[in-house]
Amino acid sequence: MAALSAPARNASGIRREARAKINAFLRVHGEREDGYHEIESLVLPISLADRVTVRTSAKLRVAVKGEDSLSGDVPVGGLNLALVAALALADECPDAGGALIEIDKRIPVAAGLGGGSADAAATIDALNELWGCGADAATVDALCERLGSDVPAMRAGTPVLISGRGEKLEAAQVPPLHWILVRFGFGVRSPDAYRWWDEDGGGTGPDPGPLLSAAAAGDPEVLGPLLFNDLEASVVTRHPAVGRAKKRLLDLGAVGAVMSGSGASVVGLARDRGHAEEIAVGIDDAVAVAGPPPA
């Protein structure tokens, strides 16, 4: 199902765009025996993206730069998911060597936008080519599933309906829509968001059938009121700014608004590009984005 854009190769190495995602809905069914939660979600890639570039180097290292993260090298053994992805691929690749993985970071960290997972997926695909591993789709898919619940969906690069803990993917047909993304100066860790849902006795949202039909039709007026996220109420209780941002989006005319993933980012749905840009101007730390991008 890999649908990431073809890598750009030049004197600077191989480059990939690692697109952020939003969750048009997130339905939580409860905790599983393995400690994860059973979920359903419609995952849509958006125009906001990190840029991952890999090139041959004497050793394996990651350098991150950008306004939402510290610049500099990440040492082997660090927690950067792109580095973990590189090490996982190296275990499967007889010809693996060193590599410099440079991440131009534009997706906020711990924001419910899948930035770390997107970087990991892009790193695997780019290094598979750089090192000449020849890892087939099944091998890469298995690596992605082991790396994290969001990584398979982020590697798909197209709209997908996910289930299980996030590893089960089903292609979804959704035309481009226009969104307003509100970012915060803080993040929410996924384990915390799910734990809060457990502690608060969180409920499971409605049948997503009508939402999926509206999304497939590309009708923002119908889709907007149907957006939902079962984790949202518990996050808002701990971070009221999330709720205030959602209200602000609706007050300014968004046809719907919802927290993305485990938060803290909030997205509003607009009627068209101009409408999205108009609303974004009225909110601090907001930007108009489109998604999913055309195939």
Which active-site residues does the annotation give? 21, 150
Burial 97-121 (b: 16+ CB within 10 A, else e): eebbbbbbbbbbebbbbbbbbbbbb
Which residues partner with 9 through β-bridges? 14
Q: How many residues are present in the chain? A: 295
Task: Tell me the one-letter amino acid at 62.
Answer: V
CA distance 287 to 213: 27
CA distance 114 to 21: 6
**What are the strands, taking DSSP E only, across 56-152?**
60-65, 72-74, 99-104
CA distance 271 to 199: 37
CA distance 188 to 124: 26
Q: 92 with 85: CB under 8 angstroms?
A: no
